[in-house]
Structure 1
C-alpha cells in the first residue's frame, strides 16, 4: 500500500475512534459507568441507543477487569517497582484520568500511542481543559516534529504508526518506557484493523521486547455466521475492513495466535461469558434496569461476536490468571449433528420485499394460505413498524407467491405492534393478542382481523378489516413476547396465554385462559411446580395441552427447560419433560410438533459457539437430536431469530418467514426470502 492508501486507511480507522468516543460519553452520561472525563475528551454530546450502551458497557467492564487485575498483581511487588500501562490505539479514551482520580497510579504510569493527528489533538484538548490538567500535574506539549505529544510525570502520549515498529520502538525509548518493568499492553479493537502480517509482527514484537508483560485485546470474532457477515459488511462499508478474522475466527485460534508468537499463557472469553460469569449479579441487575430494553437477541449476538483476551509472559504475570477458571465450562457445544435439513428459497418470493421484517406474527389460515402482520421492517423505502399485511399463498402449480394487503374495509387501523401473537379462529378470521409499540408502550387491547379476498383471488382485491376484539373481564396483562396456544379443557377450546414481558415485569409466569366460543377469560386451576417466568419462549399444542420450551428468564438468562401443561380432569398440571441430552438454553425460536417430535427451530443461544439449527425431541422417548440447516441453496446470511414459521405436515415442510434484527451499530438486517425446510428425513422414528 502506498503513502496515499495508508493515509486514507488511517483516516477511516480514526473515524472509528470518534464514534467510540461519542459512545463512551453517552455511556457515562446515562449512568452505566462512572467517567467524569469522557465528556471532556469527546467533541460533543450524543444520545446512543440502549443496545449500544450495553455493548460499550460490557466492553468497558471487561477492559477494567484486566487493568485492575494487572495493577493488583504488580502492586504486590516490592517497591520501588513501577508498573507500566501501554495503550495502543488509545484514541480519546479516558483510562489515565479514571485511574489517576481513583488513586491507582501511585506506583504505575501510562503511555498512549495513536496516529500523530489523533495524539496531538488529544494533547491539545488536555492542555486546554483545567479539570484534566489538574490531574496530570505539570506537563509539556511536544512540538509537531516530535513523536512525544504530551508528557507529565506519569502520563505520556505518543504519535506513531503501529505498523512501523522500528519507529515505535524508538519513540517508546525516547518517552522513557522501561522494557524490563512489568507492562500491560492494551489494544481495544486495534489489531483487527491491521493487515494480518502487521498484527502478527506487533504481537511478536511485544513478546520479544517485554519479558514481564500482559497483553490484553478486545476484538471481533466469528465472521462466518449470519451476524458475523453483517458485522463484516458494516466495516467494509466504512472502508475499514476487519482483517484476520478468517485466519483467527474463534477463541481457540486467537489463543494459539499468541502462544505461537512467544507468549507463555493465554486465556480468552467471549463477552457473554464475561458478563454472566465475572460480573456480580447485583451489578448486572443495576445495568439491566437503567433503561427500557427489548433487543435481547442482538445484545447476546453482539457479545458472542466480541471477546476479551489476556496473554502473559514472565513469572509475575503468568502465575495468576486474569480470568479465574469457572467451576463448569460456559461453552458446551451440543453433540455432533444427527443430520442436515435442506433449505430452499420459496419460488415466487424473490421480488417480494414486504416480508422483510422481524418481531411479526404469522398464522396458517388454510393449507395454502399464510397470513402475516406486524413487526419491524421495510416499508415505502424506510425502516419502521410495518402497517401492511402480507399474504403468502400457494397457486394451483404448488408455487408460493407473496402479496401485500394494504386495503382496509373499515375505519379500523393496524397499530404497528411487534412481538404479539396471532391465532387462527377460522379460514378468514384471526385474533391478535398483546404486543408492543415500544419497550415502554404496550399495544392496547386485542384485535380481530377479518380477511376478504375476491373470487378470482386477485391480490389487488384483497382486504382486511381491523376491529377491536371485545374480551370479557379477566387477567390479561398488556404484555409482549408471550405465547398463545390452543388447549382443551373439559372438551372446550381455550387459548392459553403464557409468559411474556410487561412494562413492570421483566418476565411473566402467569397462565391465562381465554374461552374461544364466548371470548371470555376463565380461571382454570393449574397445579404443579410453577415454572419461572419467561418470555421469547416457544409454545405449541400437544395432546390437548401445551408444550413450552426455552425462553429468557427474569435474569436475562436463556432457559433449557421443556415443560408440558397437561390437561387433567378439572385442571391443568405442570410437568417437566426429561430430555436427554438436555437442550441448549435458547430463546426467540419457533416450535412445532411433527410426527410425534417437538421441533425447536432457530433462536439465540449463548452457551454454544455454533448457530442453532433445528433441535428434534422425540416426545415418546425424550431423546433429543440436533440438525443443522443446509443453506447451500439459500442466499446467505440467514438469521433465525425473531422470525415466524408455518408447518405444512402433508408436504413435510416448514416455512421460515421473516426474521432478523437491529444488529448493534452494524445496521438492521432482514431475511430477504421465505425459506422452506425439508422435514422428510424426520418422518420415520429416530
Structure 2
C-alpha cells in the first residue's frame, strides 16, 4: 500500500521483508482502517497539546511503525508511547529495531531488561516503551506499566486494533474495566468487527474460525449499540462509534477520496461497502478527555426501517435442479427468460476448471415439471464470439432473441461489442435447443464502452428500441447518459428527451413500464447508494424524465427489479444507510407506498448473498428465480451462492 501511495511510511521497510501485491479491495480496506486510527490519534494530540506530559498505550501493537513515524515528524512532544504485545512478538520486534541504525537513532539511549517482578521482556527508551506480556494477565500488565513509568494521571490514548475481540469476553472486558479505573483522563479507541449474522458476517466468522482465531466479542456485542453500552457499563463516561462507511463518507475529504480513486483500477464496490459495514471505530472517553473524540455519523445518513418493516416474511426455497451445476455458481452475470420455462445465463465470474475466474460460457435452465435441467455451452460454433465479460447487460427481446451489450474483462478493458444471441428451441427439450451468437454492426454514433449499465427494450411509434442508460467506463467512474438503438436497422438514433435529468449512476435497475423505462437505485458519483426512481416516459415528441415519488426506502445498488401489477419489486442489493441488508421491497407506483419484507432463509443452509445476482420473474407461478450472487468477501474468501433459489412472492394489494 505504501508503494502504491495509499499513505506514507518510510519506516515500514524496517519491519517488512518484501512488497506483496494485494487486491485493490484489500488495500482500500486497510487504508480506511489506517485513516480512522490516524484521525483518532490526531484528535488526541491536538486536544492535549497544552499538557506537559501525554501517553499513548497501544495494546497488541505488533510491528506497527507508529512511534517512528511520529518521532521523525516531531509529533511526540511531551508524549511517551507504550506498546504491548506477546513476548515472542516483542522479542522479534526488538531484534529488528536493534539491527536497524535508523530506528535506534530515533529511540536514542535504550535499556533492555527483564523486570524482576514479571520476568517480561521490556525495551525502554526515553519516550518509547516496548513491553512483552499477555493482555489477559491484567495484574501483571498493570504492574509492568507502573514499573516502566506509566502515569495514570496523565491524559492517555489507548489503541486497540482488532485485538480485544480475539480475547475471551471475560478477559477483554477486564481490560476495558481496568483502563476505565486506572486512568483519570483517557480515550480508548477500538477498531474491530461487527454484524456477524448477515451473509457477509457469516463468511467473515467462518474465516476466522478456520484460522482458529475466534472473534469472541463479535457474538456477544454484535452491533454498534451493544459495543457502546459495553464500554459505558465498564466505567467509561462517553462512548461513540460509527462503521467504516460512515467514517469514509463523513471524515475523508473529497479531494482525498478522488486521490484514492486514481491509485489503481477498482470495481469491487459491493465488497468494499460490505467490508466497511462490518467494521467500526469506537471512541470511549472519560475525565478531562470526555469530549476529546466524538464520532458523529454524517447528517441524514442513517435510515431506520425497523418501524415500518412488514412482519411477514417471504419464503425462499432451493430451486430443484436435475443435477448440481457448478456453472450456476457465479456473480456479475446476466440471466433472461427467452421463452416460457427457458432461462439463458451468460458471463460473470465463477468456477471454471476448478478455479475462480471470468466466464465466457452460456448456460441454459429448462423447466420440466417441477425440475430445472441445466447445461452449458462454452466453445461451440459462434458461441466463441462471447468474451469473458462481467457486468454486461443481456435483454430478452420480444422476438425471442437476446441482445448482449457492454461489460468488461477488467476495469481498464471494457467490451465494445454488441451481440445477438439467438435460441432455436425445437421440441422444448434441453437437448434440442441450439444457440448461436452474431456480432451486430451498428450505424451512427455509438455510446462509449461501459459496464454496470442497463439496457431495456421499448416500442416507440411502432419501432423497437434498445435504451442504454448509465454505467461505468474506464475514464468516467459514473455515467449519466442514455442512448437509443433502433432494433429494426441497428442504428444509433437521437430521440428528444426532456425533463429533469436523473443523478449519474451505475449498478442500478431498469424495467419496462408504460411504454418507457423505470430506473431505480444505483450507485452515484459520490459512491453513495441512491434512493431515487425515475421514469423515462414516452411522449408525442420523444421522451421525458419524471421522478416517481415514493415513501422512503433503503437506498441500494447491485439489486434486481421487476414490475408486477404496477408495483416495483426491488430484490436485494447493497446499502450503507441501514444496519440491515436490503431484502425485498415493493413500491406501489400509483400511490408511492413502500412495503419491506424479510426473506426466510431457513431452507437455505449457506449464506444467501443478494448482490451481484440475477433474477427472472416467473409471473404465472408468482415466483422470482434468483440465480448466482456473491463476491469476493475482502480477505475472507470468495462466496458464490451454491444454487438457484425460488422466491415466493406475497400478495400485495
> Do these two structures clear the TM 0.5 threshold for a shared fold by scoring above it?
yes
CA distance in 2, matches of 1:245, 1:312: 21
1:85 and 2:56 matched: yes
Closer, same or farther in 2 for the Cα pair 1:349/1:50, shift >3 Å? farther
CA distance in 2, matches of 1:317, 1:331: 31
**Aligned counterpart for 2:380 among listed residues 400, 403, 408:** 408
> Does the 8 A contact of 2:242 with 2:296 survive in 1?
no
Name 1:210's counterpart in structure 2.
Answer: 183
1:617 and 2:590 matched: no
1:497 and 2:471 matched: no
Closer, same or farther in 2 for the Cα pair 1:349/1:45, shift >3 Å? farther
> Does the 8 A contact of 2:484 with 2:492 survive in 1?
yes
The 5 A counterparts of 1:126-137 are 126-137=97-108
CA distance in 1, matches of 2:322, 2:264: 39
Name 1:351's counterpart in structure 2.
Answer: 324
CA distance in 2, matches of 1:349, 1:551: 35
1:47 and 2:21 matched: yes
The one-character-per-residue Cα deviations of 1:567-621 (angstroms, maximum 9, x if unpaired) are: 01121101111111x2221100011100110011100000000111111110111
Name 1:195's counterpart in structure 2.
Answer: 168
Name 2:48's counterpart in structure 1.
Answer: 74
Name 2:395's counterpart in structure 1.
Answer: 423
Name 1:541's counterpart in structure 2.
Answer: 512
CA distance in 2, matches of 1:358, 1:657: 9
> Does the 8 A contact of 1:407 with 1:464 survive in 2?
no
CA distance in 2, matches of 1:327, 1:559: 16
> Does the 8 A contact of 2:397 with 2:457 survive in 1?
no
CA distance in 2, matches of 1:439, 1:427: 33
> Does the 8 A contact of 1:483 with 1:500 survive in 2?
yes
SS at match of 1:29: coil
The 5 A counterparts of 1:221-620 are 221-314=194-287, 316-324=288-296, 326-328=298-300, 330-333=302-305, 335-338=307-310, 339-348=312-321, 351-395=324-368, 397-406=369-378, 408-410=380-382, 412-425=384-397, 429-452=401-424, 455=427, 457-459=429-431, 463-580=434-551, 582-620=552-590
> Does the 8 A contact of 1:409 with 1:464 survive in 2?
no
The one-character-per-residue Cα deviations of 1:314-344 (angstroms, maximum 9, x if unpaired) are: 1x11034432565445353454322321111
**Aligned counterpart for 2:597 among listed residues 627, 648, 656:** 627
The one-character-per-residue Cα deviations of 1:432-454 (angstroms, maximum 9, x if unpaired) are: 10000000010131122233466
SS at match of 1:244: helix
SS at match of 2:219: coil
- When structure 1 is superposed on structure 2, of 229-238 and 328-337 the one drifting more is 328-337
Name 2:129's counterpart in structure 1.
Answer: 156
CA distance in 1, matches of 2:295, 2:219: 26
CA distance in 2, matches of 1:456, 1:259: 66
State the 1:388 CA deviation: 2.3
> Does the 8 A contact of 2:373 with 2:430 survive in 1?
no
Closer, same or farther in 2 for the Cα pair 1:221/1:526, shift >3 Å? same
State the 1:407 CA deviation: 5.0
> Does the 8 A contact of 1:349 with 1:673 survive in 2?
no
Closer, same or farther in 2 for the Cα pair 1:343/1:407, shift >3 Å? same
State the 1:352 CA deviation: 1.9
CA distance in 1, matches of 2:331, 2:237: 46
Instruction: Calculate the aligned-residue CA RMSD, in Å.
Output: 1.8
Closer, same or farther in 2 for the Cα pair 1:398/1:325, shift >3 Å? closer
> Does the 8 A contact of 1:330 with 1:607 survive in 2?
yes
Superposition TM-score, scaled by structure 2 size: 0.96
State the 1:140 CA deviation: 2.9
> Does the 8 A contact of 2:283 with 2:294 survive in 1?
yes
Q: May I ask how many residue pairs the two structures share in their alignment?
A: 650
State the 1:405 CA deviation: 2.5
Unaligned runs of 5+ in 2: none
> Does the 8 A contact of 2:58 with 2:83 survive in 1?
yes
Superposition TM-score, scaled by structure 1 size: 0.92
CA distance in 2, matches of 1:604, 1:351: 28
Unaligned runs of 5+ in 1: 1-26
State the 1:355 CA deviation: 0.7
The one-character-per-residue Cα deviations of 1:452-503 (angstroms, maximum 9, x if unpaired) are: 46647254x6553333222223232210000001122222111100000001
State the 1:414 CA deviation: 2.2
CA distance in 1, matches of 2:480, 2:239: 43
> Does the 8 A contact of 1:408 with 1:464 survive in 2?
no
> Does the 8 A contact of 2:378 with 2:384 survive in 1?
no
> Does the 8 A contact of 1:259 with 1:265 survive in 2?
yes
State the 1:529 CA deviation: 1.5
SS at match of 1:412: helix
Closer, same or farther in 2 for the Cα pair 1:270/1:594, shift >3 Å? same
